[in-house]
Amino acid sequence: MLDIKFVRDNPDLVKAGAVKKRLPDRVAVVDRVLALDVELRALLPRIESMRAEQRQAGKAMGRLAAEERECHLAAQKRLKEELQQLEDQEKDLRARLEREALLLPNVPAPEVPEGKDDTENQEVRRVGAVPAFGFTPRAHYEVGERQGWLDFERAANLAGSRNYFLFGELAWLHDAVLRFAADHMSGKGFTLVDPPLLVRDLAMVGTAFFPGGEEQAYRCEKDELNLIGTAEVPVTSIHQGEILDEADLPKRYVGRSACFRREAGTYGKDTRGLYRVHQFHKVEQVIVDVADPEVSRRHHEEIVRNAEEVLQAFELPYRVVAVCGGDLGVPQIFKYDIECWMPSRNHYGETHSASRFHDFQARRLNLRYRRKADGKVAFCHTLNNTVIASPRILIALLEIHQQADGTVRLPKALVPYMRGKEVLGRPL
């Protein structure tokens, strides 16, 4: 949610932001919001003065003798009816304004690159060499199926496409990377959180997945709950409605959860393997802090580094990209993606996404803090980034570390998490 005052003062900036994000239909939203805002503010003074009159008269009434009341009552009743009508108008205006305002996209930072989609994201840096194999490398699903670790066919039979069974050592590896990631973040002072996986609309709207993302979420209509697509949703919402003490900031959380995504509209895309699946697990870092763009920027760099450290520990080549306007979501101001090299795609594939929101989510969540300097209340800034998402990361691990004989070498960092094992699978 944008500050309505900001929209009033900078309509062109907001529109330009929507254009940069390639959301042409949202440009018109700015004008609609402004028009409703004008209408509402024209109405308010009338309502307020009527209410003031009503209140004064009401107070006087209390002091009046019973027989004096009669003549005042008639006037009061008339006023009441008139007021009622205006209040209905006000309520309707506010509802429409709210509905439109939720559609306004956050304004992208000036340093967000221009571009229409992910092909125009700007590479920031590459780390680690793309390996040269002395043999023809196999795709992860081949490596996995040959070892009996993966089964997509049986999973599809009972759960539909984009589902998977992980067996044996691969299931353990899945566990190991998540555990490693949680440990890594815990060591940096992030508090581990095991959040609710089913949440009310409040949290979905608050983190700005709704409105707009309804088609991507599984919904339990009976209970009006939604399965989360990422721990960002419940973890960023932890302090929803609260006024935090500045002394308690920043809040650093590392959420660990299953994630569910319908992947509607992706038919025919990434259909093989573990890349795009309905259900996965993720360890996610979330920071809530004071409303200071400079502080947010520092946190952003910090959470990207945290993720990079994990990838370096996993000995995976990757690159960091600055996401361009057209690939940026509605709520973000700036976003880095981290992509790991995936031989089967012969390209880097997205494994991490680090977002900076400023107070966009906090406004929707009514997430505030009291400033030490002046005792005033302000909306927080929020950020989040993946630490590790599995099984997607298993693609890179299996493909990069596969050996000619069909086994998979474990990076040293993961060995302790696999009970000392250094190689997975048997030679084939």
Partner RNA sequence: GGAGAGGUGGCAGAGCGGCUGAAUGCAGCGGUCUUGAAAACCGCCGUGCCGAGAGGCACCGGGGGUUCGAAUCCCCCCCUCUCCGCCA
Please give the single-letter amino acid code of residue 428.
L
49 binds RNA (CB under 7 A): yes
- Structure tokens belonging to residue 409: 């070498």
Query: Which residue among 44, 124, 127, 404 contacts RNA (CB under 7 A)?
Result: 44
43 binds RNA (CB under 7 A): no
243 binds RNA (CB under 7 A): yes
Determine phi and psi for 251, rounding to 5 degrees: -90, 125
Query: Which residue among 28, 31, 35, 77 contacts RNA (CB under 7 A)?
Result: 77
**Stretch in the footprint of RNA (CB under 7 A) among 130-138, 272-280, 371-379, 384-392:** 371-379
38 binds RNA (CB under 7 A): no
377 binds RNA (CB under 7 A): yes
- The DSSP-derived string for 171-215 is HHHHHHHHHHHHHHHHTTTPEEE---SEE-HHHHHHTT-TTT-GG
48 binds RNA (CB under 7 A): yes
* Burial grade of 290 (CB within 10 A; 0-12, 13-18, 19 or more): middle
96 binds RNA (CB under 7 A): no
Find the binding residues for RNA in span 296-325 (CB under 7 A). none
Q: What are the residues whose beta carbons fall under 8 Å from the beta carbon of 62, sequence distance 6 or more? A: none
List residues with catalytic annotation: 261, 276, 350, 353, 392
**Stretch in the footprint of RNA (CB under 7 A) among 75-83, 279-287, 317-325, 337-345:** 75-83
146 binds RNA (CB under 7 A): no
Residues binding RNA: number (CB under 7 A) = 29
Report the alpha-carbon distance of residue 249 to residue 284 in Å, rounded. 18
Nearer to RNA, 222 or 419 (CB): 222
* Burial grade of 400 (CB within 10 A; 0-12, 13-18, 19 or more): buried
Q: Find the shortest distance in angstroms from Cβ 76 to RNA.
A: 3
Q: Find the shortest distance in angstroms from Cβ 58 to RNA.
A: 3
Q: Find the shortest distance in angstroms from Cβ 36 to RNA.
A: 12
**Stretch in the footprint of RNA (CB under 7 A) among 40-48, 189-197, 400-408, 411-419:** 40-48
76 binds RNA (CB under 7 A): yes
58 binds RNA (CB under 7 A): yes
- Structure tokens belonging to residue 227: 């399965």
What is the sign of the dihedral through the CA atoms of 120, 22, 392 and 275?
negative
Tokens 């402004």, residue?
Answer: 34
Closest CA to 397 of 417, 381, 377: 417
Closest CA to 400 of 337, 338, 349, 341: 341
Site residues, RNA (CB under 7 A): 4-5, 41, 44-45, 47-49, 51-52, 54-59, 61-62, 73, 76-77, 79-80, 91, 243, 370, 375-377
